[in-house]
Amino acid sequence: MPNEQCLLELRAVSKTFNGVPVLADVDLRVGDGEVITILGPSGSGKSTILRIIGGFTAPSRGRVILGGDDITEVPINQRPFNTVFQDYALFPHMTVAENVGYGLRVRGAARADMAQTVARSLRMVQLDGYGQRYPAQLSGGQRQRVALARAIICQPRLILLDEPLGALDVELRKQMQGFLKDIQREIKTTFLMVTHDQEEAIAMADRICVVSAGKVLQIGRPRDLYYRPGTEFVARFFGENNLLKGLLGAAGNHYRHVEAGWGPIRCAVDGQPEIAGAASGLAAYGAVRPEEVSLHPADARLDAELNRMEGRIEAVSFSGALTSVRVVHTGGACVLQVRLQSRAEGVPIQVGQSVVASWRAEACRVVLA
Amino acid sequence: MQGGSGLSGRREGADGRRWRALQQALIVATVYGLPVIFVLVPLLTFLVYSFFWVEGGAMHYSLSLQNYLRFFAGEAFFRVFWQTILLCLGVAAMATLVAYPVAYFLTGIKGRMKSTLVMLILVPLLMSYIIKIYALRSILGANGLLNQLLMGLGLIDTPSSFFVFNLNAVMLTQLALLIPFAVLPILLSLERIPRNLLEASTDLGAGGGQTFLWVILPMSLPGVVAAATFVFVLAIGDFLTPQMVGGQAGFTFGRIVYSQFGIAFNWPFGAALSVILMGVIVIAIVVGARYGSSRRGTA
Ligand SMILES: Nc1ncnc2c1ncn2[C@@H]1O[C@H](COP(=O)(O)OP(=O)(O)OP(=O)(O)O)[C@@H](O)[C@H]1O
Ligand SMILES: [Mg+2]
């Protein structure tokens, strides 16, 4: 949340259900106007975080702060937030227009104003002309948009979305992600969105908050989480990653080495003071993304600054735009996944070939085991 | 050997298939046949009977409309008929009004306590009708609990006969007997409302009253209509309660029908009145089904 003003803050929020801890000391700062996705495996406590913010569930400990005011005890209907529920929770006995206008009706808005605002909201979610239908007469994507229109019509400070696209098929999901993003840019309202789909999190979020087993593991921009994972869980969570095991070498300001059995791995540590200062000798991984590794003939002369590993190609598999290659260290000590751009004539590599794999220290990070 | 067993196996198979087909036919015949024999045939018999007529104590087995003409022309019958419909509508309305808060209260309770309370409502349904009526009669009677209570509170000086042997008594007794029938459909419809709709309503800023009025009440309306239909149909078909607590003043249509069979021995006229009653019940059910499910969709 580097530049924006802080809108909402969770301070050491914990939750236990019947003695079973579900959230442990969750801290979260949500900036005004930003899109945060809460990402984590099933049962990790994502919905619980959202429900605590919405007021549906009271935290066992900790505070919820809105713009400096403690709102932990404020009832649901007095919080300036609106929720888009996973299964939309549209009122089946009301038309689309009545659903969308519900928040205004509750506030006693005049009928004429209401009709106008509802029409505007429906236009915004591209559903003009659908006002007189009932939810049962809509497709999944349309219902989703009604739920969104219903939430934004009250001009909340924060919109909470619990897996808003979870019920949609892949194609529609992609489309709706773009749609949600566009709407958010238009109304500039803060979005806090739960998902367990990493691609969705990356596509939607300004910042991602990774949750696992009731703890926040890391909060940061998608790029940072992808290239500078703070924990092994995060390092493994977003796509494929090479985690090369070793022991942390001597401290350094810009680089540190992870001493693997087959050689040192040079890793950048800028922007990671806790890694730069970590005790040497700790078990650690050098983490490098498959697409950051390049392959060279065994006798190639390489820049001494580069990380390198000599090995043999064990498998090559074509998967469209990219081709995955598995390189095994000559001594068998280490396996490296490499991703190359596919070429029409095929990548110039064959199984059994000896190669040197190399990657830049800047693309390689230390992850403590 | 192998061929032989195979052959006999096939023959058994054919027999088995025939046997199974027979079984199937028997089941179908039972499933559709029993209702036809025990429901449809009596109804049709009644319908036919209602066109026969009695004169001078003798049955005439020729078709005539005179039973129906007698009903619609004779003011006395029609008046009782109309009064009974109003009475039963009243009972249905009041039973539903009482049942709604009870059901609403029950949805708010969880676990063991709830099943216990629901059982308490169900148990009277299993008790003998006559015993229940007797019990209520003693409560409503001149020296009954109700009068004692009112006198104790100083609201009346002498025991009132307002509650016994008249239509009030019929109404109060039927109300007490039929409320459980109204609670159940309402309870079911309330329980079927997804919790997250209530959360959505509150999330959008609604207070408890608004959520009730705009979400809970309309969504439980099918249950309300079902409850009212239930009670109405049960009340209008009931001749025992009016017979036992109605006295001279509490005359209802059900009693007239009953008397045609039991006292007047005019079965054709009784049958015609039954057919009319049946018509009212069918209309009630059709109207109920219509208004009970007019709400669109489920999502
Ligand atoms: N009302 C409740 N009573 C008891 N336990 C609960 C309750 N709500 C949630 N839990 C438990 O808390 C944990 C976290 O639940 P939560 O719904 O927050 O998970 P989630 O991250 O949203 O998972 P999913 O991706 O499956 O939706 C789960 O183990 C769940 O069983
Ligand atoms: Mg969830």
Counting every residue written for chain B, the total comes to: 299
- pLDDT 10s digits, A184-194: 999 999 999 99
Q: What is the pLDDT of residues B227-264, one digit of tens each?
A: 999 999 999 989 899 988 888 888 899 998 888 888 88
> Do the Cβ atoms of A82 and B204 come within 8 Å?
yes
CA distance A143 to A149: 10
What are the phi and psi torsion angles at B98 (to 5°)?
Answer: -75, -40
Q: Which of A48, A161, A212, A215 to mutate to test the pocket of ligand 1 (most atoms within 8 A of CB)?
A: A48
Residues A159/A85, Cβ–Cβ less than 8 Å: no
Distance CA A149, CA B123 (A): 48
Residue A23 has pLDDT above 80, yes or no: yes
Q: Which residues lie closer than 8 Å to A158 by C-beta, 6 or more apart?
A: A7, A8, A30, A53, A80, A81, A82, A189, A190, A191, A192
Please tell me which of A167-176, B20-29, B90-99 the model is most confident about, judged by mean pLDDT: B90-99
With a cut of 90, say whether residue B157 has pLDDT above it.
no
What is the spatial distance between Cα A340 and Cα A338, in angstroms, rounded to a whole number?
Answer: 7
Q: How far apart are CA B277 and CA B281, in angstroms?
A: 6
Average pLDDT along chain B: 87
Q: B296 vs B189, which has greater pLDDT?
A: B189
Yes or no: say if A281 and A250 are a contact pair by the CB < 8 Å rule: no
Segments making up each domain of chain B, as ranges:
2-49, 68-292
Q: Which of B218, B230, B210 is nearest to B193 (CA)?
A: B218
Ligand with minimal distance to A48 CA:
1
Model confidence over B166-186: pLDDT tens digits? 888 899 999 999 999 999 999
Q: Are B107 and B277 in contact (CB under 8 A)?
A: no
Window B:270-299, CB contacts with A under 8 Å: 295-299
Residue type, A4: E
**Residue B148 binned pLDDT confidence (cut-offs 50, 70, 90):** confident
Q: Are the C-beta atoms of residues B299 and A135 closer than 8 Å to each other?
A: yes
Can you list the positions of beta strands (E) in chain A? 6-17, 20-31, 35-39, 61-66, 69-70, 81-84, 158-162, 190-195, 207-212, 215-220, 242-248, 255-260, 263-268, 283-288, 294-297, 307-319, 322-329, 335-341, 354-359, 364-368
In order of A82, A91, A149, B106, the CA distances from A97 in angstroms are 17, 11, 10, 33
- Could you tell me the pLDDT band of residue A3, with boundaries at 50, 70 and 90? low
Query: B29: helix, coil or strand?
Result: helix
pLDDT at residue B202 above 50? yes
Per-residue model confidence (pLDDT) at position A241: 93
Facing A77 at nearest CB: one of B202, B219, B299: B202
Given B197, B210, B214, which is nearest A89 (Cβ)?
A: B197
Q: Is the pLDDT of residue A336 over 80?
A: yes
Instruction: Give the pairing type, strands A20-31 and A6-17.
Output: antiparallel
Across the interface, whether the CB atoms of A76 and B207 are under 8 A apart is answered no
**Claim: this prediction has a pTM higher than 0.90:** no
Query: Is the separation of the CB atoms in A285 and A369 below 8 Å?
Result: yes
Cβ contact B200–A89 (<8 Å): yes
Q: Using N-to-C axis directions, what is the helix angle for B267-292 and B75-107, rounded to 10°?
A: 40
Q: Is the pLDDT of residue B82 over 50?
A: yes
DSSP-assigned states of every residue in A156-199: -SEEEEESTTTTS-HHHHHHHHHHHHHHHHHH--EEEEEES-HH
DSSP A31: E
At B3, is the pLDDT very low, low, confident or very high (cuts 50, 70, 90)? very low
Nearest CA to ligand 1 atom 17: A47
Helix (H) or strand (E) segment spanning residue B59: strand B58-60
Q: How far apart are CA A221 and CA A219, in angstroms?
A: 7
- Count of A–B CB contacts within 8 Å? 76
Is B144 in contact with B162 (CB distance < 8 Å)? Answer: no
Query: Domain-by-domain residue ranges, chain A?
Result: 6-232, 240-368
CATH of domain B68-292: 1.10.3720.10
**How far is the centre of ligand 1, averaged over its atoms, from the C-alpha of A242 (Å)?**
31
Q: How far is the CA of B105 from the centre of ligand 1 (A)?
A: 28
- Taking CB atoms and an 8 Å cutoff, what residues of chain B touch A101? none
CATH of A6-232, one of 3.50.50.60, 2.60.130.10, 3.40.50.300, 2.70.150.10: 3.40.50.300
Counting from 1 in the atom list of ligand 1, the atom nearest the Cα of A51 is 18
| Shortest-distance Cα residue to atom 12 of ligand 1 | A22
- Asked if B121 and B183 touch (Cβ cutoff 8 Å), the reply is yes
Lowest pLDDT segment from A54-68, A176-190, A211-225, B28-42: B28-42
Residue B71 corresponds to which tokens in the numbers above? 């009903």
- Residues whose CB is less than 8 angstroms from the CB of residue A226 and which lie 6 or more positions away in sequence, other chains included: A202, A238, A239, A289
Class of domain A240-368 as given by CATH:
mainly beta
Element containing residue B53 per DSSP (H, E):
strand B53-55
The total of other beta-carbon atoms located within 10 Å of residue A60's CB is: 14
The residues, any chain, with a CB within 8 Å of residue B118's CB and separated by 6 or more, are B106, B187
Residue B194: Cβ within 10 Å count: 14
Q: Is B163 helix (H, G, I), strand (E, B) or coil?
A: coil
Q: Any bridge partners for residue B150, and if so which?
A: none
pLDDT at residue A131 in the model: 94
Closest chain A residue to B207 measured between Cα atoms? A77
Number of the ligand closest to the Cα of A56 = 1
User: What is the percent of chain B with per-residue pLDDT over 90, rounded to a whole number?
Assistant: 43
